[in-house]
Amino acid sequence: MNESELDYEGGDLQKEDPLLRVEDLRKTFGGVVAADDATFAVERGSITGLIGPNGAGKSTLFNLISGFYEPDGGAVYLGDEEITGMRPDQIAQKGLIRTFQTPRKLEGMTVRESLLVAPAGQRGESLLPLWTSPSSVTAQEDELLDRAEDLLSFFEIDHLATEPSPELSGGQLKLVELARAMMTDPDVLLLDEPVAGVNPVLEEKLAEHIRRLNEEQGVTVLLIEHDMEFIMDLADPIVVLDQGRVLVEGTPEAVRTDDRVVDAYLGGVAE
């Protein structure tokens, strides 16, 4: 470690209107410090990138933010509300939706059906209304079917609607995952490597889709990606994580030319 690295005080919290704030988040697994007092904020309406070498703790941060891991210290705020310690489903219902690094397939469901799962608080999710007010359940299902159809065409996967979801390619699964996340009408999307293993053509499309979600629907995005070209093109600002700590935060240009970032990546390779 060099001097400048130790000088760095963590991410910039002085945003104009931060929607998601992470303060001094800490998580250890045995001897591994996966999140080491990580601090940063995501500006409302931004596409913020999160990069760092393998094992830097990016996915761990996602798990901490979305409630899948309990932090050993620190806090997470969504808007003005502290969400630390809430259950994943509670956090999701507050409008923060995350995807997983390995795409999840839903055995025995068609793509369309796997989209219908997503919206929260459906009437038919309680047992009694299935018999006491079947028509309101059906009416809501029809609304959701229309919504699913719109999203499937937005992501240009309407031809896959009746396909069983385990039979999709990796890239198609990523699109389905995005569409499913959008079914919940989220405020913040946390995307863990949305283009890993995706061919360049589809990658281009995914970038375009994410940009449109952000611009047209006002979704705030925090995304992890190893593909530098993809993330530098899409995200601004970019937060660089190394060994659980926020190393640098800045514009793509600033990050690209920062010595500490170069060191972190080279160090990661050498190890």
Ligand X SMILES: Nc1ncnc2c1ncn2[C@@H]1O[C@H](COP(=O)(O)OP(=O)(O)OP(=O)(O)O)[C@@H](O)[C@H]1O
Chain contacts with other proteins (rule: CB under 8 A):
66, 68, 87-90, 92-93, 97-100, 104-110, 112-114, 116-118, 120, 122-127, 130-131, 137, 141, 145, 149, 158, 161-162, 180, 184
Distance CA 191, CA 180 (A): 12
By CB under 5 A, residue 99 contacts Mg ion: no
CB of 136 to Mg ion, least distance (A): 42
Residue 11: C-alpha distances to residues 55, 109, 141, 212 (Å): 19, 42, 43, 27
Closest CA to 207 of 45, 24, 49: 49
**For 128, phi and psi rounded to 5 degrees?**
-60, -45
Nearer Cβ to ligand X (31/121): 31
CB of 10 to ligand X, least distance (A): 17
Taking a C-beta distance cutoff of 8 angstroms, is the pair 137, 129 a contact? yes
CB of 60 to other proteins, least distance (A): 15
Nearer Cβ to other proteins (54/90): 90
Nearer Cβ to Mg ion (15/98): 98
Neighbour-count burial of 195, counting CB atoms closer than 10 A to its CB (0-12 exposed, 13-18 middle, 19+ buried): buried
Which range, of 29-37, 141-149, 197-205, 215-223, touches ligand X by CB under 6 A? 29-37
Residues 6+ positions from 74 with CB-CB distance below 8 Å? 22, 23, 24, 25, 26, 35, 37, 38, 39, 84
By CB under 5 A, residue 66 contacts Mg ion: no
Token pair for 124: 């038919």
- The option from other proteins, ligand X, Mg ion, none interacting with 66 (CB < 5 to 8 A, set by class) reads other proteins
Binding site for ligand X (CB under 6 A): 29, 32, 34, 52, 54-60, 101
